Structure 1
Amino acid sequence: MSTSYFSNSNSMSFNNYSALVGDGDEDEDQFEHQDINHSGIGSNSNNNRNINNNNNNSHQDHNPFFFTSKDFEQTPSSSPSNKKSGSGAGGSRFALDDDEEEDKEDHAFIEVERLIAPSSALYNKRRLLAFGLLLILLILGTTISIVIYRNISHKDDQDVPLDSSSSSSSSSSEPVPPSSYSTNIPNLIVISIDGCRWDYLNRGITPNLQALYNNAKGAHAQFITPQFPSKTFPNHYSLATGLYPEYHGIIGNQMYDPTANKYFDYKKPAVTDPFWYWGEPIWVTALKNGLTAACYFWPGCSAPIQGYSPNPNMVTYSDTQATDVLGTVFQWQLNQRPNLTMVYLSDVDIAGHEYGTESKQVNQALGFVDGAIGTFIKNMTDAGLIENTNILILSDHGMTNITGTIDITTYINMSQILLGGGATPILSIFPIDGELTVDEIYDKLSGIHPNLTIYRKEDVPAQYNFNSTTNARIAPIIGVADLGWAVYTGKAITDFATHGYDPVNMNMKGIFIGHGPNIKGGLMPFNFSNTDAYTLYTGLLNITENLPITNGTTYLRNLVIKSKSEP
């Protein structure tokens, strides 16, 4: 891979993911408080005010506020003239006749109603008011209880957001380690040097890398074998998941999915879409098991997978030099100290594509990256972190110079087919409705050049692990060029060297170095498939629960990790 495979606009935040993903920010539960319907209480109050005063009148003897006409009755005067005069011996101030007395009695009842009704209404009004207040308190108490319960119950379920290289975690709670995890387990840093061929370490210009394994200080493989096709994105994701590309979904740096009619390009925003990524990369496994994880440009980290993203996470790719990348990674180790850190360095791959494998520019890039790693190791040592850190340095594939070109445009009309990925050195051809059929495409291209083999999908050799009938992204027609040959499809070929060929070729092999408190030193020469790396990560991180199925073995883990009895 030679240039940036992330768009500058691809920094995400999950949410989605939850889609998947996520983006990025976490959502907070919100609760709405509904207004109490006071009009309902008012209507009840009015109904309760309709008191039957006749009922109360039956209890008038026990009501101190109830009066009858007897309270006003006086002894009448014997003289009729004294009835209204208010004078005379033994006469009352008020002398009433029978009619007047009856009127007074009726009036007294009116006065009684005036006294009783307000008293009864006040009592009921107070009772209703008390009931209303109790109802309001009950509603408020219930609402507050729900808020508290939901905040507590969802606290640990918040998605890890897609973040930039922020120094703070966006999750408000610390993950709970599983029973198998020990806080004393050293942290793990995995550094990929893109395009670093296995024999580049023999050029005598990488003293810092060699110091990590010389004198039985660490482990060094003769080579690591990539997956087919030996391209950057497929193999970084195989290193991360332990799966063949046909099972993890990333079958090329560019690809087409006919079921969704979508295109993927490592230079485009599609890299942030979790739709493309199958399987479970190691950073998701770490996060699921209560550990922390960080990524710097590692392919696949740009999308929220299963709703998880590393943090910190540099997702917007640029051709950043190794010194700057590792300078930032060192600051992460000082400040956040993630349990797992995945790092991608592009310097060597860029030089190889642009100038060829034997160029001085490749040697300069190798020396530059080696120096950056040496500075990183020194900084880790000075900070007292190196003794509690396992470091793996590896590469996704090798590199070979282009020695010949195969022009297929003279054999087939390119407008009649759909190319599902980059042409060199792998052809992925889909038929177009109404144009050439699969058989017609095969007949036109098969045998046109001795250094290009055309396969129907079902006939792709088993060792390529590239013919799954359940993966529609693998095209019906696959073309594979021999080592060193490029395929011309109408687009100019400017590279001096490339990769993607059959992994059996030694020029496609990569490097592997292991150094740290849990890494054995002085091992006999060994090599392995890159799908074995996943179980090595989980072993070094002491993750033993809820592990996904992979295409790898435990060979590398058993070989490289020290037993408890080893010093």
Structure 2
Amino acid sequence: ASMVSILRTHPWTLCQSLVGVSVCLVTLSDSLWVSSAGSCKGRCFELEEALPPGCRCDNLCKTYYSCCSDFDEHCLKTAGSFECSEDRCGETRNDDHACHCSEDCLARGDCCTNYKALCKGDTKWVDDECEEITGPECPAGFIRPPLIMLSVDGFRDSYMKKGKAVIPNMEKLRTCGTHAPYMRPVYPSKTFPNLYTLATGLYPESHGIVGNSMHDPVFDANFSLRGREKLNHRWWGGQPIWITAEKQGVKAGTFFWPWPYVYAVHSEQPDTFGHRLGPFSNELDNPLREIDNVIGQLMNGLKQMNLHRCVNVIVVGDHGMEEAHCERTEFLSTYPVNVDEINLIPGSLGRIRARDPKSTTCELHSTCKMPTQHFKPYLKQHLPKRLHYANNRRIEDVHLLMERKWHIAKRNPGRCGFFGDHGFDNKITSMRTIFLGYGPSFMFQTKVAEFESIELYNVMCDLLGLTPAPNNGTHGSLNDMLKAPPFTPTMPEEVTPPTSSDTSSATTYDLGCSCDNEVSGEVMRQLIYDPQSETTIDNATHLPFGRPAVLFQTTYSLLLHSDFISGYSQELSMPLWTSFTVPKQVVMPLPEPEPVIECVRADMRVALEHSQACTTYSQDTDGSYGFLYPPELAMSSESKYDASLITNTVPMYPAFKKVWRYLQGTLLKRYAEENNGINVVTGPIFDNNYDGHRDSTVKIKEYAGVSAPVPTHYYVVITNCQDVNQTAEACDGPLNVFSFLLPHRSDNDESCKSSDDESQWVEELLMLHTARVRDVEILTGLDMYRSTTLNYTQTLSLKTFLHTFESDT
């Protein structure tokens, strides 16, 4: 039996016990049946768990399919149905029924949810007009509006398009309350990782539930949906909402303890039928109707008890559903891999570890094997940073990121029984799920921007008056969905302001650099910085949204140029960030650009000990340098000179320069043309331990040794005005942003087309490594957008937005 049926059985009990102070969680799995011999008479919801082979009557027996055969009869009382019918109206009370239609049921608080509508002529909740609930209308004794969260497994966002004909109650929640066009799950888009993310606000790598199945090398134990090990608390990290509530004075409990203020109920539908039928089958309409009917029972029950203006309700999915079939399966046995030497967790993503625990390497590494293959193999530290799927020992070292609709397996199993699946890259459209919020605390008839599921924990804490535990969400980013958000986010204080560069006592020195047209120190001084020059730097042009703030202790200075500005780190001898604005080009014949000269010059504003040396680059056979501000964009002789300064360079592998040059020389110009100009902020990232956070300066130097530190990634943040009639620097309204976190690797094997022209593969690679601005900020220790026309909640919403580059169809 599913949690849908349990909710169906007890919607009235659910609503009746809302005045209390404990927290209730209900979860569901697909564990194996054990035994049904014995009886639950006198044993309902016993606290002691009966051991196999005996049958069980505790609140988890449904989870393990091990209830006694009469559990439903005695404990769930299913004999009398869950709704009133015309012939039940005015019935004689029967205590064996789950709910009642007798004349005394209202006084006793145990009517079936449709009693007043069917037996007393009231209207159903779904038939009432939308009404704006101006404030909680709760019975005496309520401290705060309770919260009910119903998660529906595998509810793809496109199912909402079925509308009133199939899901009228959900459609009313969407229309009358607050909704998002979709909610993005975390990766992997599987049930257990996502349910626990909803409960904690943490990524799977942070809370530890990295899959429905996993191996812990320290515990030397396996976790699965069908095993008892999943009940061991050692697997579950972070602080779920019910523990947060308990720690802050709200009693915690389980399903059978009364008086909760928050209910979390999970239905395994429509996921089961989505797997069996695929997401586009018309036969899915029936399970969707059943789910909607349960939601209707809930809302009717709340209305019947006059709680429909008191309780906050969230309906949310854990992930979407994609078409999949065993005919679209890659078999590792067809690759040059000894499948007998590996353990593979197969399916919509592949996780590989060596079968021999003493082995520290695996033959399958991040290299293309076949041009037509339908997966990308990665070492986990090379996975797109937006996935946040590396920093946990339970995540295997080798990961196969599957193409949508495709599976991975060791060998052909010779059988097939599915037409849908999930677990794929969480940015693809088919993995999107739903968010609906309704009640006195939610905005009326409001559509908010799409968001990721890590953000809901903070919202639930706000609804319950709790202080959130540390989590991966950005508190306040969803304030626009609440009428009176209790938390007001504030801009973080800058830790390290920049120092100004001083050229008054600068002298020239030899860094082993050579360029044509070298100039004297005096001319250099004039070219680099002349405050009286007509080209004095305009911060409004190159820093239109404010200077990035540095949120860690360091030493850096501002280096001003006619076409770009840099925050230059003395400790790293390279910029922390470089910002410049690329205008839309005037439509007119342009002269042929001069060839870019690959050379660099010393920068007299930076002391010798804080500068990279050209000799370092020339002596490193594996390394080279690249420019943060692209010389290709320089239109004046002064700008060309600025672009060639060594303070505009960063260490860069020759292979990566193919990606970087195409981005700078081709794509930035196109983006500027399409968006009426763009602002670009770019720089290096150091995350050698792949924990998703900026490495400390000490750690960076440890990893670098005696060599110059080499970034693990480069970031690019591109912003334009949402109103394309306004330029980026003059924008006085909403902003658009997309960002890239590009892995800095010594090869381009991630792309099977890397031997082709860059136009055939680079942009696809960039889109795969799309990221949120918040991801960039956490990896750099910077804070961006400190001077905009947006309020701070809108700024946080912008920072947490992910441009997926996926079609909405």
> TM-score category by the smaller chain?
0.5 to 0.7
Query: Could you tell me how far 1:439 is from its partner in structure 2?
Result: 4.7
Is residue 30 of structure 2 the alignment partner of residue 5 of structure 1? Answer: yes
- Aligned equivalents of 1:555 and 1:506: distance in 2? 26
Partner of 1:397: 319
Partner of 1:53: none
Is residue 304 of structure 2 the alignment partner of residue 382 of structure 1? Answer: yes
- Aligned equivalents of 2:452 and 2:144: distance in 1? 26
1:13-56 deviation digits (Å, cap 9, x = unpaired) = xxxxxxxxxx978xxxxxxxxxxxxxxxxxxxxxxxxxxxxxxx
Q: 2:463 aligns with which of 510, 523, 540?
A: 540
- Aligned equivalents of 1:369 and 1:539: distance in 2? 27
Is residue 446 of structure 2 the alignment partner of residue 523 of structure 1? Answer: yes
In structure 2, do the counterparts of structure 1 residues 183 and 451 end up closer, same or farther at CA, with 3 Å as the change threshold?
same
1:364-386 deviation digits (Å, cap 9, x = unpaired) = 11111111111121012102222
Which amino acid is the alignment partner of residue 355 of structure 2? I
Asked if the contact 2:178/2:448 (under 8 Å) is kept, the reply is no
Is residue 255 of structure 2 the alignment partner of residue 312 of structure 1? Answer: yes
Q: 2:333 aligns with which of 409, 418, 427?
A: 409
Q: 1:208 aligns with which of 163, 169, 172?
A: 169
Partner of 1:356: 278
Q: 1:285 aligns with which of 244, 269, 273?
A: 244
Secondary structure of the residue aligned to 2:456 is helix
Asked if the contact 1:292/1:340 (under 8 Å) is kept, the reply is no
Asked if the contact 1:447/1:453 (under 8 Å) is kept, the reply is no
Is residue 486 of structure 2 the alignment partner of residue 486 of structure 1? Answer: no
Is residue 143 of structure 2 the alignment partner of residue 184 of structure 1? Answer: yes
Which amino acid is the alignment partner of residue 216 of structure 2? D
- Aligned equivalents of 1:553 and 1:437: distance in 2? 37
What are structure 1's unaligned runs of at least 5 residues? 11-22, 26-161, 168-181, 294-309, 314-331
Partner of 2:215: 256
Asked if the contact 1:232/1:396 (under 8 Å) is kept, the reply is yes
Query: Could you tell me how far 1:449 is from its partner in structure 2?
Result: 4.7
Question: Aligned residue pairs: how many?
Answer: 358
Partner of 1:83: none
1:406-456 deviation digits (Å, cap 9, x = unpaired) = 11122233221122x3x1111111113389762523279744753110001
Asked if the contact 2:364/2:377 (under 8 Å) is kept, the reply is no
Matches within 5 A, 1:159-170: none
Matches within 5 A, 1:48-87: none
1:196-242 deviation digits (Å, cap 9, x = unpaired) = 0111011121111111232xx31011000011111111111111100
Answer with 396-405 or 548-557: which moved more.
548-557
Is residue 166 of structure 2 the alignment partner of residue 234 of structure 1? Answer: no
1:506-542 deviation digits (Å, cap 9, x = unpaired) = 1100000000111111224421110000001000001
- Aligned equivalents of 1:564 and 1:504: distance in 2? 28
1:467-509 deviation digits (Å, cap 9, x = unpaired) = 11xx110101001111111112234442210011111101100
Query: Could you tell me how far 1:254 is from its partner in structure 2?
Result: 0.6
Partner of 1:274: 233
- Aligned equivalents of 1:493 and 1:549: distance in 2? 43
Query: Could you tell me how far 1:292 is from its partner in structure 2?
Result: 4.1
Asked if the contact 1:194/1:346 (under 8 Å) is kept, the reply is yes
Q: 1:495 aligns with which of 414, 418, 429?
A: 418
- Aligned equivalents of 2:409 and 2:356: distance in 1? 24
Which amino acid is the alignment partner of residue 315 of structure 2? I
Q: 1:514 aligns with which of 411, 427, 437?
A: 437
Q: TM-score scaled to structure 1, two decimals?
A: 0.59
Is residue 394 of structure 2 the alignment partner of residue 438 of structure 1? Answer: no
What percent of counterpart residues are identical? 30
Secondary structure of the residue aligned to 1:474 is coil
Asked if the contact 1:536/1:556 (under 8 Å) is kept, the reply is no
In structure 2, do the counterparts of structure 1 residues 219 and 443 end up closer, same or farther at CA, with 3 Å as the change threshold?
closer
Partner of 2:377: 454
Which amino acid is the alignment partner of residue 202 of structure 1? K
Matches within 5 A, 1:40-51: none
Asked if the contact 1:348/1:366 (under 8 Å) is kept, the reply is yes
Which amino acid is the alignment partner of residue 417 of structure 1? I
In structure 2, do the counterparts of structure 1 residues 392 and 467 end up closer, same or farther at CA, with 3 Å as the change threshold?
same
In structure 2, do the counterparts of structure 1 residues 212 and 434 end up closer, same or farther at CA, with 3 Å as the change threshold?
closer
Higher helix proportion (structure 1 or 2): 1
- Aligned equivalents of 1:311 and 1:4: distance in 2? 16
Partner of 2:482: 561
Is residue 291 of structure 2 the alignment partner of residue 369 of structure 1? Answer: yes
Secondary structure of the residue aligned to 1:441 is coil
Partner of 2:470: 549
In structure 2, do the counterparts of structure 1 residues 274 and 517 end up closer, same or farther at CA, with 3 Å as the change threshold?
same
What are structure 2's unaligned runs of at least 5 residues? 3-27, 36-45, 49-57, 62-74, 77-140, 487-809
Asked if the contact 1:533/1:556 (under 8 Å) is kept, the reply is no
In structure 2, do the counterparts of structure 1 residues 193 and 288 end up closer, same or farther at CA, with 3 Å as the change threshold?
same
Q: 1:265 aligns with which of 202, 221, 224?
A: 224
Q: TM-score scaled to structure 2, two decimals?
A: 0.42
Secondary structure of the residue aligned to 1:260 is coil
Higher Cα Rg, which structure: 1
Which amino acid is the alignment partner of residue 340 of structure 2? S
- Aligned equivalents of 1:197 and 1:249: distance in 2? 25
Q: 1:219 aligns with which of 178, 183, 189?
A: 178
Is residue 265 of structure 2 the alignment partner of residue 343 of structure 1? Answer: yes
Partner of 2:158: 199
In structure 2, do the counterparts of structure 1 residues 6 and 187 end up closer, same or farther at CA, with 3 Å as the change threshold?
farther
Say which structure, 1 or 2, has more relative contact order (CA 8 Å, 6+ apart).
Answer: 1
Which amino acid is the alignment partner of residue 560 of structure 1? M
- Aligned equivalents of 1:517 and 1:400: distance in 2? 35
Secondary structure of the residue aligned to 2:458 is helix
- Aligned equivalents of 2:240 and 2:357: distance in 1? 40
- Aligned equivalents of 2:209 and 2:313: distance in 1? 26
Answer with 505-514 or 270-279: which moved more.
270-279
| Root-mean-square deviation over aligned CA pairs | 2.9
Asked if the contact 1:286/1:340 (under 8 Å) is kept, the reply is no
Asked if the contact 1:5/1:268 (under 8 Å) is kept, the reply is no
Which amino acid is the alignment partner of residue 280 of structure 2? E
Which amino acid is the alignment partner of residue 456 of structure 2? A
- Aligned equivalents of 2:437 and 2:357: distance in 1? 54
